[in-house]
Amino acid sequence: MAAPAGSATPAAPAKGSEAALAAALADVPELARLLEVDPYLKPFAEDFQRRYKKFSKILSDIGENEGGIDKFSRGYESFGIHRCADGGLYCKEWAPGAEGVFLTGDFNGWNPFSYPYKKLDYGKWELYIPPKQNKSVLVPHGSKLKVVITSKSGEILYRISPWAKYVAREGGNVNYDWICWDPEHPYKFKHSRPKKPKSVRIYESHVGISSHEGKIASYKHFTCNVLPRIKDLGYNCIQLMAIMEHAYYASFGYQITSFFAASSRYGTPEELKELVDTAHSMGITVLLDVVHSHASKNSEDGLNMFDGTDSCYFHSGPRGTHDLWDSKLFAYSNWEVLRFLLSNIRWWLEEYCFDGFRFDGVTSMLYHHHGMGQSFSGDYNEYFGLQVDEDALTYLMLANHLIHTLYPDSITIAEDVSGMPALCSPISQGGGGFDYRLAMAIPDKWIQLIKEFKDEDWNMGNIVYTLTNRRYLEKCIAYAESHDQALVGDKTLAFWLMDAEMYTNMSVLAPFTPVIDRGIQLHKMIRLITHALGGEGYLNFMGNEFGHPEWLDFPRKGNNESYHYARRQFHLTDDDLLRYKFLNNFDRDMNRLEERCGWLSAPQAFVSEKHEGNKIIAFERAGLLFIFNFHPNKSYTDYRVGTALPGKFKIVLDSDAAEYGGHQRLDHNTDFFSEALEHNGRHYSLLVYIPSRVALILQNVDLPN
pLDDT tier at 172, thresholds 50, 70, 90: confident
Please give the positions annotated as active site.
360, 415
Output the pLDDT for position 322: 96
Output the pLDDT for position 173: 87
Burial of 368 (0-12, 13-18, 19+ CB in 10 A): exposed
Residue range 200-599 in CATH 3.20.20.80? yes
Q: Is the pLDDT of residue 15 over 70?
A: no
Same CATH fold, 604-700 and 73-180?
yes
Output the pLDDT for position 252: 85
Identify whether the C-beta of residue 412 lies closer than 8 Å to the C-beta of residue 356.
yes
Q: Is the pLDDT of residue 81 over 90?
A: yes
CATH superfamily of domain region 73-180 = Immunoglobulins (2.60.40.10)
Read off the pLDDT of each residue in 615-638 and give the average, rounded to a whole number. Answer: 98
293-297, 552-556, 652-656, 683-687: which has the minimum mean pLDDT?
552-556
Report the candidate in 318, 321, 251, 235 with the shortest Cα–Cα distance to residue 291: 251
Output the pLDDT for position 553: 83
Mean pLDDT rounded to a whole number for the chain: 94
Other C-beta atoms lying within 10 Å of the C-beta of residue 140: 11
Read off the pLDDT of each residue in 400-414 and give the average, rounded to a whole number. Answer: 98
What is the three-state SS of 69-113? HHHHCCHHHCCEEEECCCCCEEEEEECCCEEEEEEEEHHHCCCCC
Read off the pLDDT of each residue in 325-349 and give the average, rounded to a whole number. Answer: 98
Q: Is the pLDDT of residue 454 over 90?
A: yes
Q: What tens digit of pLDDT does each residue of 563-572 get?
A: 877 889 999 9
Output the pLDDT for position 109: 97
Output the pLDDT for position 133: 85
Indicate the SS3 state at residue 206: strand
Handedness of CA 681, 687, 690, 696 (dihedral sign): negative
Residue 655 CB partners (closer than 8 Å, separation 6+): 521, 524, 525, 528, 586, 662, 694, 695, 696
Read off the pLDDT of each residue in 42-58 and give the average, rounded to a whole number. Answer: 98
Output the pLDDT for position 76: 98
Instruction: Break the chain into its structural domains and give their ranges.
Output: 28-72, 73-180, 200-599, 604-700
Indicate the SS3 state at residue 505: coil
Report the candidate in 345, 351, 350, 349 with the shortest Cα–Cα distance to residue 396: 345
Output the CA–CA distances (angstroms, integers) from residue 56 to 59, 348, 414, 452, in the order listed. 5, 25, 21, 49
pTM for the whole thing?
0.96
Residue 123 CB partners (closer than 8 Å, separation 6+): 94, 95, 96, 97, 98, 307, 336
For domain 604-700, the CATH class is: mainly beta
Report DSSP state, residue 10: P
23-32, 86-95, 391-400, 559-568: which has the minimum mean pLDDT?
559-568
Spatial distance between the Cα atoms of 440 and 361, rounded to a whole number of angstroms:
12
Output the pLDDT for position 250: 86
The H-assigned helical ranges of 181-242 are: 219-221, 227-233
Q: What tens digit of pLDDT does each residue of 138-157 get?
A: 999 999 999 999 999 999 99
